[in-house]
Amino acid sequence: MSVAVVAGGAGFIGSHLCDALLGEGKHVICIDNLATGRSRNIAHLHTHQRFSFVQHDIVDGLPELPHVHEVYHLASPASPPGYTLLPVETMRVNAEGTFHLLELARHAGASFLYASTSEAYGDPLEHPQREDYRGNVSSTGPRSMYDEAKRYGEALTMAYVRAHELDGRIVRIFNTYGPRSDPHDGRLVPNLVMQALRGWPLTIYGDGTQTRSLCYVADLVEGLRATMNAPAARGQVINLGNPEEHTILEFATIIQELTGTGGDLVYSEPAVGDDPQRRRPDITRASGLLGWYPKTELHPGLRTTIDSFRDELATTDQSASPAAARSTPGI
List the chain pLDDT tens, one digit each, 331 residues: 899 999 999 999 999 999 999 999 999 999 999 999 999 999 999 999 999 999 999 999 999 999 999 999 999 999 999 999 999 999 999 999 999 999 999 999 999 999 999 999 999 999 999 999 999 999 999 999 999 999 999 999 999 999 999 999 999 999 999 999 999 888 999 999 999 999 999 999 999 999 999 999 999 999 999 999 999 999 999 999 999 999 999 999 999 999 998 678 999 988 666 678 889 999 999 999 999 999 999 999 999 999 999 999 998 754 444 433 433 334 4
Nearest CA-CA partner of 105 in 113, 94, 96: 113
The C-alpha angle 177, 210, 323, rounded to 5 degrees, equals 70
Burial class (CB in 10 A: 0-12, 13-18, 19+), 40: middle
User: What's the confidence (pLDDT) of residue 317?
Assistant: 55
Residues in the chain: 331
How far out from the chain centre does Cα 157 lie?
18
Task: Return the active site residues.
Answer: 146
For residue 322, cis peptide bond before it (omega within 30 degrees of 0):
no
User: What's the confidence (pLDDT) of residue 277?
Assistant: 87
User: What's the confidence (pLDDT) of residue 274?
Assistant: 65
User: What's the confidence (pLDDT) of residue 262?
Assistant: 65
pTM of the entire structure?
0.94
**Domains annotated on the chain, with CATH:** 3-175+216-240 (3.40.50.720), 177-213+244-279+296-325 (3.90.25.10)
Nearest CA-CA partner of 237 in 75, 129, 107, 91: 129
User: What's the confidence (pLDDT) of residue 276?
Assistant: 82
User: What's the confidence (pLDDT) of residue 11?
Assistant: 98
